[in-house]
Amino acid sequence: MAAPMLNIATARERVLHSAAPLETEDVPVGEALGRVLAEELRAAHDVPGFANSAMDGFAVRSGKADRDLLVVGESRAGRPAEFPLGYGEAIRISTGAMLPDGADAVLQQELVDDRGERITLLDEVAPGRNVREPGEDLRAGDHVLGAGTRLGPASLGVAVNAGRATLRCARRPRVAVLATGDELRPPGTELGPGQVHDSNRITLTALAEREGAIVVLARDVPDHTDATRRAIGEALELADVVVLSGGVSVGPHDHVKPALAELGVEERFWRVALRPGKPTWFGARGRTLVFGLPGNPVSAMVTFLLFVRPALAALQWAEPPAGGRAILGERILCHPDRDECVRVRLEDGRAFATGPQGSHVLRSMALADALVVIPRGEGRALAAGTEVELIAV
């Protein structure tokens, strides 16, 4: 009897068990968007590094309103005043400019009667008014970002403020995408009888790139023993992760599994109690991971999201993106013996299936905001209103 099918969580554990983090490298901060930080980042110094003005106005000593002061100089952004503030004096100041010694507050321009050489303060001035103190944003030594952070625009800016020009990041995983099938034709070509456009090469490449991978090879492979073995052999030389689509089943034209065995790729699992995506294969040769995903376009994408994405994240020291939660907007029947990944659209926190869910109906993915896993159960259904976990698409 065939081995029992794995459930999704066990299959994913096996993948993660094989996905050791890659080496790290220093990346210029301007090139690190989307990369994953592989260090604990601390601030090298206080930010701001000096007391400065939050307003355009006048640096003064705190005190009562209606004071008449002599304007003795100016502090501009990047060009502080050259002398301290004395009694009865004010210094013109710009936003972000350094607060002169002797001043403890700033009164904004709008609350000053400005006559050039002399001014009158039209409001009482409390100590610290309109002053940004050193370290209000970051203190020297503060923990700023943790290893595993996917670097977005704000993280990059904070890293610059923390004093950094480069960041230690995980190396980007190299991915090879091989789409098998004699029926496959490139995008835009006219189709002969029985032919289909090769969408998996495009979707799987895009999914890999979105997870931070470099796709070093993406091609079609005919359903032929030697061609399959040669293509996989080449991919294994180039890539950290080989993603195959199709040809992994047990039909007479499915050459992937024998080729993998011949090339010394060791099977870690085959078949998952999942719909769509039952015929999913995973193995490894040394540190190189190999995924044999089903050819049906939805199955290929769903199994990438469930198994390949966590692997790419782990290789980069990261976690896959969190999906959040929602409630079902409609009743959904359970499949008797496989957990089902239903493509849903979200409306006000409620999840609705995106129409026909066949594994060849790629539109159901294109319309989806998320996936929901509906647990298996003979004769069961999840009622509308059931809280469910979402998987980001």
Q: Using CB under 5 A as the criterion, which residues of the chain lie in contact with Mg ion when the complex forms? A: 181, 246-247, 295
Assigned token pair, 234: 């080449």
Return the one option of ligand AMP, Mg ion, none that residue 257 interacts with (CB less than 5 to 8 A, by type). none
Return the one option of ligand AMP, Mg ion, none that residue 245 interacts with (CB less than 5 to 8 A, by type). ligand AMP
Return the one option of ligand AMP, Mg ion, none that residue 301 interacts with (CB less than 5 to 8 A, by type). none
Taking residues 238 to 267 in sequence order and writing x for each that binds ligand AMP by CB under 6 A, - otherwise, the string is -------xxx-x------------------
Which of 56, 183, 209, 267 is close enough to bind ligand AMP by CB under 6 A?
A: 183
Peptide bond preceding 336 in cis form (omega within 30 of 0):
no
- Residue least distant from Mg ion (Cβ): 246
Q: Give the dihedral of Cα atoms 200, 205, 208, 212; nearest 10 deg.
A: -160
Which residues in the 39-78 window bind ligand AMP by CB under 6 A?
none
Report in angstroms how near the CB of residue 18 gets to ligand AMP at its nearest.
Answer: 23
Taking residues 188 to 217 in sequence order and writing x for each that binds ligand AMP by CB under 6 A, - otherwise, the string is --------x-xxxx----------------
CA distance 312 to 319: 9
User: What's the N-to-C CA distance of the chain in angstroms?
Assistant: 35
Which residues in the 132-161 window bind ligand AMP by CB under 6 A?
none
> What's the angle, vertex CA 122, arms to CA 120 and CA 125, rounded to 5?
100
Which residues in the 279-318 window bind ligand AMP by CB under 6 A?
294-297
Assigned token pair, 222: 């005919």
Report in angstroms how near the CB of residue 342 gets to ligand AMP at its nearest.
Answer: 20
CA distance 140 to 385: 49
Residue (278 or 376) nearer to Mg ion, CB: 278
User: Closest Cα partner for 208 from 255, 241, 171, 252?
Assistant: 241
Give strand pairing partners of 138. Answer: 47
Instruction: Walk across the sheet containing 89-93 and list its strands.
Output: 105-108, 57-60, 89-93, 68-75, 118-121, 112-114
Return the one option of ligand AMP, Mg ion, none that residue 184 interacts with (CB less than 5 to 8 A, by type). ligand AMP
The three-state secondary structure class of 98 is strand
When asked if residue 277 is in the footprint of ligand AMP (CB under 6 A), the reply is no
Which of 38, 151, 184, 342 is close enough to bind ligand AMP by CB under 6 A?
A: 184
Report in angstroms how near the CB of residue 296 gets to ligand AMP at its nearest.
Answer: 4
Residue (298 or 342) nearer to Mg ion, CB: 298
The number of helix segments (H) and strand segments (E) in the chain equals 8, 28
User: Closest Cα partner for 187 from 203, 176, 175?
Assistant: 203
Report in angstroms how near the CB of residue 281 gets to ligand AMP at its nearest.
Answer: 11
CA distance 90 to 102: 10
Residues that bind ligand AMP (CB under 6 A): 179, 181, 183-184, 196, 198-201, 245-247, 249, 294-297
